[in-house]
Amino acid sequence: MSEHIVKSYEQELAILDSKISQMGGLAEQLVGEAFDALASHNPARARATVASDATIDLIHRELEEQVILMIARRQPLANDLRQVISVLKVAGELERVGDLAKNVAKRAQTVSGETHPKGLLTGLQHMTDLASRQLKDVLDAYAARDAERAIAVWHQDEKLDAVYNSVFRELLTYMMEDPRNIGLCTHLLFVAKNLERIGDHTTNIAETVNYMTRGALPEGERPKGDITSTTLVSGPMR
């Protein structure tokens, strides 16, 4: 890509990218730490995680301001326009990812006194790993302007949905087995849902990356594996 004649414009665009990668790094870290806090029953760590979401929000606001300013000053066109708009959208998604991770950490604080059934955490661990990897992949795709990789992430979300489906069923089963589990399991269900949502946001980012590099949205319907909204498990009491 040849350089802009106006050097400061080039620099501003570079700053946008670096801020996105900074924000992405933070979001990734937040997701991991939130789950670690949950798994290790460590409320202090969970509190620290909640607090660090503020940094993501701050960067998000900064990006928004800069994008508005650039639209006003540079009137970007073509790929520059797509980049600037994409930055705005990706930053929004990452901010949501941060919020979801913060929610996981909050729930980790709440349930830190309880003992989790072992199998449940394995499922959530798997989800966290998948979500984190997706996030990392899509951010790499963004940085490399790699639409192929972004589309791959987009397709991978199905896996996360599948794990979510099994975790969902598992939790329902636990709750049905023993009503005392309901409190804990509800929180864990939300944690699972949050992780699933993070996956959805990464697919959104992937779509944006694809738009940014190709000027078009991915072709076809996004493969969706989350069937929980249509799942109804009947109680064992019947």
Q: Kindly list the residues in this chain that would bind other proteins in the complex (CB under 8 A).
A: 1-7, 9, 75-82, 214-217, 219
Place of tokens 């990897």: 133
Nearest to 19 by CA among 84, 96, 112: 84
Residue 162 host element (H or E): helix 147-177
How far is the C-alpha of 194 from the C-alpha of 164, rounded, in Å? 10
Q: Please say which residue, 66 or 103, places its beta carbon nearer to other proteins.
A: 66
Q: How many CA atoms lie within 13 A of 76 on its CB side?
A: 21
CB of 84 to other proteins, least distance (A): 11
Q: Please say which residue, 84 or 127, places its beta carbon nearer to other proteins.
A: 84
Q: Please say which residue, 19 or 74, places its beta carbon nearer to other proteins.
A: 74
How far is the C-alpha of 9 from the C-alpha of 232, rounded, in Å? 54
Q: Please say which residue, 7 or 118, places its beta carbon nearer to other proteins.
A: 7
CB neighbours (10 Å) of residue 140?
16
Nearest to 211 by CA among 135, 154, 130: 154
Radius of gyration of the chain from its Cα atoms, rounded to whole angstroms? 20
Q: Please say which residue, 2 or 230, places its beta carbon nearer to other proteins.
A: 2
CB of 122 to other proteins, least distance (A): 40
How far is the C-alpha of 98 from the C-alpha of 87, rounded, in Å? 16
How far is the C-alpha of 60 from the C-alpha of 199, rounded, in Å? 19
CB of 78 to other proteins, least distance (A): 5
Place of tokens 């309880």: 114
Q: Please say which residue, 75 or 234, places its beta carbon nearer to other proteins.
A: 75
CB of 9 to other proteins, least distance (A): 7
